Amino acid sequence: MSVALRNAQRAVPVRRAPLRRAVCALRAALGASRFDVGLVCAGNALMRRLNGAYRHCPEPTDVLSFPFHQVAAGELPQPRCRDDYNLGDVFLGVEYIHQQCRESGEDFDDVLTVTAAHGLCHLLGYRHDTKPEWEQMYQKEAQILEELNRLTGSRLRPLTAGLF
């Protein structure tokens, strides 16, 4: 199945091919390579609107996930027809991420990939509202990033390292 990647902003150049390859590898590491996923690179204005509309927090953010299926953490959806082979959409706040990377000195492409991994985990029911949920999500992110690291030689770590 496919990863549909759309760049809906112009503030920050995005290397789409490497990001698409990384998301394909992460999706496979999650055991979900049969499922489509939408990936939207968004600017601060769009992220602010979406965050305000869906989370009642009208501020830009790094990632928002909109799952197609409601599943428990660690479960794959059980599609009934071909059109149901869809995980959902991940909106990456690339302008926000880029600003954070400039301030922290982190590599933008690496943080974008780790943020995409975080968003994919949200599509599959992982959350981080409580410490046990965070631990479960952190473990899953670490697992899929380790697989990506093995394939690419990178050294990526989960986003939520210091959350709790």
Three-state SS letters, the chain: CCEEEEECCCCCCCCHHHHHHHHHHHHHHCCCCCCEEEEEEECHHHHHHHHHHHHCCCCCCCEEEEECCCCCCCCCCCCCCHHHCEEEEEEEEHHHHHHHHHHHCCCHHHHHHHHHHHHHHHHCCCCCCCHHHHHHHHHHHHHHHHHHHHHHCCCCCCCCCCCC
Mean pLDDT of the chain: 95
Mean pLDDT of 129-156: 95
pLDDT tens, 47-103? 999 999 999 999 999 999 999 999 999 899 999 999 999 999 999 999 999 999 999
pLDDT bucket at 164, cuts 50 / 70 / 90: low
- Locate the domains of the chain by residue range: 3-152
Spatial separation of the C-alpha atoms in residues 21 and 92, rounded to whole Å: 16
At residue 162, the pLDDT reads: 66
pTM over 0.85: yes
Can you read off the two tokens belonging to residue 11? 């503030």
Number of Cβ within 10 Å of residue 150's Cβ equals 11
Please check whether residue 3 is in contact with residue 20, taking contact to mean a CB–CB distance below 8 angstroms.
yes
CATH pick for 3-152 out of 3.10.129.10, 3.40.605.10, 3.40.390.30, 3.40.50.300: 3.40.390.30
